[in-house]
Structures are given as structure tokens and as C-alpha cells.
Structure 1
């Protein structure tokens, strides 16, 4: 059945996608003033000073960069029918060129390198799930799911898996030619889908143990994966009860999707000056989801780093500063994971700490600090958290804590013994009454109502929060670029922290 006839027959809806073509052209950089360009005059520059660097940060410059970024996202409209900077798109290729050209205008202050790597990406064009006589309102395709057979609807009986479907024996023989219903928990979603596929199932449905829908991903593709949906616990429990009472449930599943591997690029900039054996590192991601232009997520974090990089070039540093713009964060932290995996033991030890800056200007913001401890995270993470606390308190600003839960690019660093931390302003989490009193905004709404949506555009920015947090980013970099006095030394023999044992995310989607 052709896609058009499927749409006509089942009234399915979905997102458009198209061929992804790289673009390499120079991009003009919006300067509020002529940037400093340095060749061999590093010794003549003034030593880095946090207050002076912070004073050079202005929301007008950040907003100007955001306007450029949105124009770049619009270059993908012929592919996706809307602006986006998803990896492989013209919008993302232009974003990389913009970052590189901006850094190039700073002369020899930074050594700028590109790190290409293979990234798995997936698109779901259309999907539909019908169970019995109803369409589950919470149904959503898993990230990196394969399509249903021949990209057409499949029909079968709903068969309940035993336990959590984590062992091949949990999927009964009756699953062959049918659709398996599996409880969330214990093992990754990819394992559940794989076991269903090995049993001959046509599709799989993972239901949550909580009422909320499951926004998950299958992770690394497997030839045994089958088309997989996630649904909420309320609907899932209802279907389980019917099956256990002996009621026969039929289902129709349809996913028109593709999963493929492309090559994309991290950008790394390191100061030529400063002690190369002691580097302060910070990063943000250069890509967006396919659904929108990603001006807050993570245009704000990546542009904050770019603006700090420009202003930092006016100063001499004692310790090297290494800045990174990761690709494929939205596909599951692929760029940062690849970078850390390529570090030698010696290179790992040269990074004294890593700071993650993702979503700095959510419109219903809270000032959030990752709640790091030296007991659960590499030693030094708690000291970094205290730096953020001290700065907010010095400004008379409120703050709150959020957990390290694997949702951003700090994950690979912490797992590999590098102290980490960061700040954020919130994604799809719901603002509390207490937070409304602390930060303003509206309790009961998401911190970013346009998170991972088409509306994450120029209208989706809290410029006041963006300027505040960019000044804090500047302070964090300047502090350690000047001195690591009082900050714990790296210890190559230190035990790996307990971080990661209960982490259920790897990027924005659940993996377990």
C-alpha cells in the first residue's frame, strides 16, 4: 500500500521529512562591535577577570545571534516544511559553518578542530495504533523504531509478555504474527523490542508503570527490533486486565519510519594560551530535534558559549579553556559520548572539569543547578555546584536543584570520572507553586511550553534569564581559566562514582 493510500484509508497524521543535503557556505557574524583578533600578542592581553568578562555580556548580542540561528534553521524548510536544525539538515550544516566562521574571526586565539563521527538518526513520518475499538491517546512511537512491515499497517492479537519482557523466554510463542504488550521496567526498551522481534512479533507496545505516556527510545538499532509504541500506564493497565480476564484484544499498528546512519560533526575550540595540562571545559549542543528550530534547545546554550568565546579572546588565561559544540545530542548524546570515548587516559586527566549548558532561556524559567555531590559524582562536582550557588546568591537571585538524570551531555563525562555540573532553565517539567513565588511565571505549566516543538523559535526566549545565565557561564569559565586553587586535583586511580546506576535517561528520551 502506498503512503498516500494509507493516509486516506486510516487518516493517519505525521511529520514531513526529506533528503538531507550538507551545506557549506560562509555565514556573516553579527557583531555589536569589532571583535578582538589576536595572533601572537597573547602576553600583551590583560589577565582574565570574571567581572570584566561578565560586563561584556549583553542580551542584545545574544538576541542578534538567535536571529541568525533562526534564519539558518529556515534553510531546512524545503526538506522538512518547517525550520529545523536536526543533524544532517541544511539548517544544522549551516549552524556548524556559523560557529566555525565566528571562531575563525578570532585569529589564532583558539585552535579549532572538527570531529566527525557516525550518528544514527531516525524519522517517523506517520504512525497509528488501534487497540480493540479505540485509539490510545497516549500512544507514541519509540525513538529509533523501525517501521512496520513494508511500511504498512499490521494486524494481530495483543499478546501479554511475562514479567518485563527482558528475557527471550518472557515472550510467549503466541507472539509470532501478533502484537506484544510489555510492561516497562528492569531493562532497556531496545531489549524488550528485540525479544519481541526474535519471537516473530509484528510490533510491540510498551506500557508505563505510571499513568504518564512513555517517551522512550530503542537506542542502538538491532536487526531484531520491531515497530514499537509506548503508551501510558492507565491505558496499558486496562488492556492487561482485559487480557488476564480472557478477553481477546485485536490491534492494528502502523509506523512509517526510517532509521539510518549519517556522518555529523563536533566542533572543539581550545585556547592556545594557558596550561594545556589543566583545562576547564564547557559544552552545549549545536543540533535541534526535527520537529522545530531549537532556538532555546539548545540554541541558547550553544550561542552563550559562542558569545563567551568571542569576549574571552580579549583576555590572557592561566589554564586552557576548551569549548565544545556537540552534534547529535538529540539523537541520544551521540556527539559527547563519542568525544569522551576517544580520549586517551592522559587526555581524560587533562580535563579538570566539564560544564554543561543546555537551555538557558526557557520562557517559564527557573534557575536550575545540577545537584552534584562528591559522593555520587566524580570529586570536584560538588565544588562546581557551590560556585553556581555562590554566584546566584551574590546576585540576590533564587535557585533550585535538579538531578543528574542522564538527560544532557554531562553524562559521558561523569561516567568516565570527569567532574561535572551545569545550569539550566527547564524543559517539559512543570513549574511548582513554590517556584512561581521564587521566579515568577506560571505554576502548572512547563518551563518551556514549546519544548521539542515547532514553537521553539525567537518568541520562545526569556532574554532576562538568558543574559543572567550567560554571565554565570562567563564567570564559571573565567574562574577556572584564572586558577584551580582550592579545586580538587584529578586522580587517575579514583573509583568510578555511583552515578549511572539508576539513570533512566540517555538524552531527552527514556531508555528504561
Structure 2
């Protein structure tokens, strides 16, 4: 059934006016005429596809993406969901794929997303301002967006049960230990008990917690996280039965908006055996996100464009996810919406998030069949073999829920991916392996305004885009030797060990 089409139009500096038809999640864009019949094209070959990847082409696309981010210039360039910059990004992706003719079918999946912004915050415990204090993602503001005053009340156990919160927490500041249940659960219990605010302390980290409350609840209250060095003096005073007062203030907004995933699938190749790969189309509110994840989005666009020169045996499906920075919203929604029969058609999912960090390391997610759906380890080994063939060093990083593979793994789909590093610190050994500066972040501009055109390492970007091309070509050509899909039961070992959901911890 053809969708009724409404359009979102944007004008990009140096780019013609773009339009993105907003279709339902199950409907396709009209098919455009193509040049060659698919059967006349050669079967995709890894080396040939890799040879078509060019740093100049990647960077030219980055320049366009940065101009699009400037559409949000009323504050600063950004591509956060709900902004003109993200709307423009969706238009750019859609128009780029549409221009490739009938090689791809395009579908747009609109979904409700939660967007949170924190404008100002402050926490005072006793007579100290904790250096490690930071508000959690998706926290509500303090009452009337004004400072609240109260006594620090130590919560029993880890606050995972409503009964852990004493009645004295009402109107005061709940002081809760980080533990085995989500931060959102602790905040919700505190809200039910009438607390004015919550402070979650982490005795395992002196630097505090980069956490999120996750799915909003009407019972959530303003919530901060602090590290061990700030928490220990407070705990000592409370256990000595000394009174500790507190002031908490958060000016924040949590709202629901509509945004869109874009899916492009080859119109030929075995539709029951799909190679799927994805990147996220959005940035954080603080900057334009040219590396995170403009680099991955552009790599996918370039591989999708060059793939049109070839035939494929298995269908290839590209996904550009919205709302990753708010907690993997787009990819979660996509996978959760798949009927069982459609889930089984995805043989594997490959995640490509941050391909060009300036102080890069070649990182492979350490996905194993023991902890993840069967086939994840074979994908990991494909990356290992390619880096070895190129005589390039690589390192393993945890498969811990920090990017859009999370929903696929939880729904039983084998997965993995590569990255070049975010806010992690490069070690001396890694500097010897990859160059760059030990002691600095892999991406010194991670989630900042300076994640612009100067924040990409084109050498690393080309290398990893060639590896993306290799992964696509390998499985688009044949799944010989790759495990068959069995069931879609989530990997229990994975779910037990994951504490991240996107860039923020939720436990």
C-alpha cells in the first residue's frame, strides 16, 4: 500500500533543497529507474569494493554534514534529534539513497523518542560542593526548577526495593549506593517515598557516574551521581550520627518527540538471508557529531553507493538509527518491532559507530559465541583476519551495550563491530601500536562542540571504511561457514554483564 506522503523540507548551505517523504514503518519509497539490470553486474568482490573507497569522498560528505549541522545555528551546530540539523541529516541520507535508483528500497520508520536536556545543575552536601557530582541523563528538574533543601538520608541496602527507603526520606535528599538495579528504579522508589532529590554514590569510582535514568517515570525525581572521594566523608558523618544538610538544583527538560529511522535494502539478493549494518544519524545536543557518528553514517552511505556497481547473492540492509544518544532509542525500537519471521531473516548485525577518532586505536568488539548469539564470534574473527591481512594492529574492547548492537544481541541476532575510541584514555602500549598520544582520550572532542571537521583522522576512517566494505562484500557474496540462525532468545550471559545502554550507565 502506498503511503500518504507529507514532506519535511530543509535548505542546506551549498546543497539543494532536500525532501524526505515521511512514510510509515512498513512502506517503501517509490521505485526509481536504474541504469543496468542487476544480473549484468559482477558479483560483489571484497577487493574491488574496497578499492572504491576514497578519503576525499568521505571528507566531502563530512563537509556537507557539517553544513547541515549549522541549520541548528540558533545555538551552535548540532544534529541532535528534534533539531533542524538532524532533520537535514535525515533528508541528506534519504536523498543520497534515493538517487541510487532502484538498487535499494527505502523505508522510514517513525517512532516516539524521549529527549532530555539539562540546562543547569548544582549540588551541595554539607559545606562541600562535590567535584564529581553530575546529574543523570533524563533526570527531571527539581521542584519548580528551584533549589530544594533537606537532610541527607542514607537509604538501606541499594535502594532496589521500596522498603529500603525510610519514611524520613520524605522532603529530604535520598543518599543511595550504586548496585544491582537500574538508577531509574532507585529514583522511582525515592519519588514514591516523597524524596525531594536523590544522590547515587559509587564507591568503585572516584570520578562519579555518567548515568541515565532510562525510560521516564512520573515518579522519578531529580537525581545526581557522585564518586567515592565525595561520598566517603558524607557516609562517615552519617554513620557517626552527624547531621548533613544538602541543597540540590537541576533545571532540566524531558520531552517526547517524533523522529525517524531510515532503512535501505537491496532489491535483489536472497531476502531470507540479510546482511545488516547500521550507524546512528544523530549527535548529542552539545555539538555537530562529525566523528560521533557522522563518520559511521557517512561510511555506510559511501559503501551503499559503491555497492550499486555489483550484484549480491544475499540481501544487504543498511540502517541509520535516530535517538542513539538518548539511549539507543531507534535501534531498540526497530528490533523490538520486528515480527519473529523478519527477525530470523537477519543473519547478523554489524555496528559502525565512530570510525575516525583523531587519537584512534583499531578496536574490535570482543563478542564471543559463549556470551552472545551464535555467529558473533565468527564476525569478530572476520575483523581480526582483515587487520592481520593488512598488517595492522588491533585491540579488543568490551561488548558492553554502549552502541546500537545492544538491541540486536538482546533479540538473539548475532552481532559485533569495530570502533576507534571515545572518551577512553589511550595507553602507552596503544600509542606504540597505533601512534597518537598516550594519556589522552581517543576522541578529545567526544560529545563536545569541537567534534567538527577538524576532529576526524582520515587515515583511520579510510581503513575502517574499507573494512566495512569487506564485511559487506563477504556476507553479501556468501554465508558459507557462517552459523545458521537458530532462535531469537537473548543471550543470558550478555544481559547479565551489561551495565551500559548507549554512552551512559543505567545500573
Tell me the TM-score range normalised by the shorter chain.
Answer: over 0.9
Greater shift, 129-138 or 262-271, is seen at 129-138
- Deviations 1:458-496, CA, capped at 9 Å, x for gaps: 111111000000000000001101111111111137784
Unpaired runs of at least 5, structure 2: 1-6, 17-31
1:449-460 alignment to 2 at 5 Å? 449-460=444-455
Task: Name the structure 2 match of 1:206.
Answer: 200
Specify the alignment match of 1:350 in structure 2: 345
- Map residues 15-26 of structure 1 onto 2, 5 A cutoff: 24-25=9-10
Deviation at 1:26, TM superposition (A): 6.4
Shift of 1:247: 1.6
Gaps of 5+ in 1: 1-21, 30-35
- State yes or no: 1:405 paired with 2:390: no
Work out the CA distance in 1 between the residues paired with 2:430 and 2:488: 41
| Mapped partners of 2:299, 2:466: distance in 1 | 9
Given candidates 372, 379, 386, the residue that maps to 1:377 is: 372
Q: Does residue 256 in structure 1 map to residue 251 in structure 2? A: yes
Aligned twin of 2:21? none
Coordinate RMSD, CA, aligned: 1.5
Matching residue within 219, 226, 238 for 2:214: 219
Post-superposition offset of 1:37: 7.7
**Do residues 194 (structure 1) and 188 (structure 2) align?**
yes
Q: d(CA) in 2 for partners of 1:212 and 1:233?
A: 8
Structure-1 residue corresponding to 2:260: 265
Q: What is the TM-score of this pair, normalised by structure 1?
A: 0.92
State how far apart, in whole Å, the 1-side matches of 2:488 and 2:348 are.
Answer: 16
**Counterpart pick for 1:462 among 448, 457, 463:** 457
Any residues of structure 2 matched to 1:329-478 within 5 Å, and which? Answer: 329-478=324-473
* CA deviation map 1:101-146 (0-9, x unaligned): 0011101110011000001111111111111112111111100000
Is 2:492 aligned against 1:507?
no
Q: Superposition pairs for residues 57-456 of structure 1, below 5 Å?
A: 57-78=53-74, 81-210=75-204, 211-456=206-451
TM-score, length-scaled by structure 2: 0.93
- Confirm or deny: 8 A CA contact 2:499 2:506 kept in the other structure: yes
CA 1:454–1:495: 2 relative to 1, 3 Å: closer
Deviation at 1:212, TM superposition (A): 2.0
CA contact (8 A) 2:411 2:490 kept: no
Deviation at 1:331, TM superposition (A): 0.6
The runs of 4+ residues in structure 1 deviating greater than 6 Å are none
Structure 1 residues 188 and 497, CA, compared in 2 at 3 Å: closer, same or farther?
closer
**What secondary structure sits across from 2:238 in the alignment?**
helix
2:446 alignment partner, SS class: coil
Paired with 2:488 and 2:11, the residues of 1 have a C-alpha distance of 46
Closer/same/farther in 2, CA of residues 495 and 165 from structure 1, 3 Å limit? closer
Match of 2:39 in 1: 43
